Amino acid sequence: MRSAIVAVVLTTAALAVDGASAANVVGEAVQKLHLSPQQLLSLRDTLGNFGRGAAVEASGENLFVLRDTATMAYAGEFALRVLPDSSLELDRVSGPATLESANTLLFSLRLNAKSRAQALGALANSQVAAQTGLPEPSLPAISLTGTTAAGSLMATRAVFFADGSGWVRTLRAPSLPAGTAPAPMRLADRYVPAIRSDGTRAWRDSAIEIDSDVQLRLADLDTRTRRAPGTLCHPRGPAASPSAIHFIRWGPQTIAAVPPSLLAQLAPQPPVVIAPEETPPASAPDTATPPTATAPAEAAPGAPENSPPH
């Protein structure tokens, strides 16, 4: 049953990656991660934009390479892993770069107090807020596959907790002709609340997206920002200031095409009704006529009490 749900979720994810074989390759790996229904839907929605004409092949444990089906040229890759706090981490890159699991990239979007408060408000009553407050998103470390950054590049890291809450950070670098001055990269953070359901549909309440231009050359990306995982630091270079940040609030968003089997798992449990203790019935009044008391016989005159029988 569990493997069937995973297969359905990934097939309906619009992976569009060479039919069922791609869904099987990814589905087999996902099944071993033991994700919650909310994490499965979050993964489906995040992976559901490969585009047609792409093929997926396994390339190590939970690492998958994307290739153009016509030329089999490298198009990108993504990796999955479950973190010690049971959250799911998805790293993905498309374009002329590969992932480096041993490192991470850190940028700083300097949010003002109002922006932080609104982002935290969107995450209220979610596991991500309970465990991390407002997280500082990071990006997977990447290595460029060529000597020049030809072609557009997109790098993404997403983290989802068991209730579906989490964050998605995406970096986009535009495709520019040779000899063109480098253009700013676009950095976007989306904070998403938990997935909710009433048993007939699933949705997320208001999500928050924060994005900004980052004045950093793509060729200098890893040399200026690369850090070992867990290292607290700031990039050596300009970071986006509050005045350059765009803040977007998204209203409730319905999650489309949720399989019925998964909706059943997402449905809230009915409240447990505790029956009151049964009160024993009141004793009925005794209406029977009590036996008539027999008066003791009077002793014969002149006979002493307790006289022995003759």
| Per-residue pLDDT at 30 exceeds 60 | yes
* Residue 86 to residue 161: CA distance in whole angstroms: 7
The pLDDT score that the predictor gives to residue 213 is 85
Helix (H, G, I), strand (E, B) or coil at 284: coil
Average pLDDT over residues 29-50: 88
Closest CA to 83 of 120, 138, 125: 138
Higher-scoring residue by pLDDT: 6, 81? 81
**What does the pLDDT look like over 186-197, one tens digit per residue?**
889 999 999 999
The pLDDT score that the predictor gives to residue 88 is 96
The pLDDT score that the predictor gives to residue 305 is 39
The DSSP-derived string for 73-102 is -EEEEEEEEE-TTS-EEEEEEESSEEEEEE
Q: Residues near 133 by Cβ (< 8 Å), separated by ≥ 6? A: 120
The pLDDT score that the predictor gives to residue 41 is 93
pLDDT, averaged across the chain: 76
Q: Which amino acid is at 101?
A: S
The label of the residue with tokens 């991390």 reads: 132
User: CB 154: neighbour CB atoms within 10 A?
Assistant: 15
User: Could you tell me the two tokens for 109?
Assistant: 């979007």
Supply angle C-alpha 88, 90, 93, rounded to 5. Answer: 175
The pLDDT score that the predictor gives to residue 163 is 95
Confidence (pTM): 0.77
* Residue 69 to residue 66: CA distance in whole angstroms: 9
**What does the pLDDT look like over 254-298, one tens digit per residue?**
998 888 888 888 888 777 677 676 655 555 555 544 444 444 444
HSE-CB of 51 using CA atoms within 13 angstroms: 8
**What does the pLDDT look like over 71-106, one tens digit per residue?**
888 889 999 999 999 999 999 998 888 998 778 887
The pLDDT score that the predictor gives to residue 17 is 44
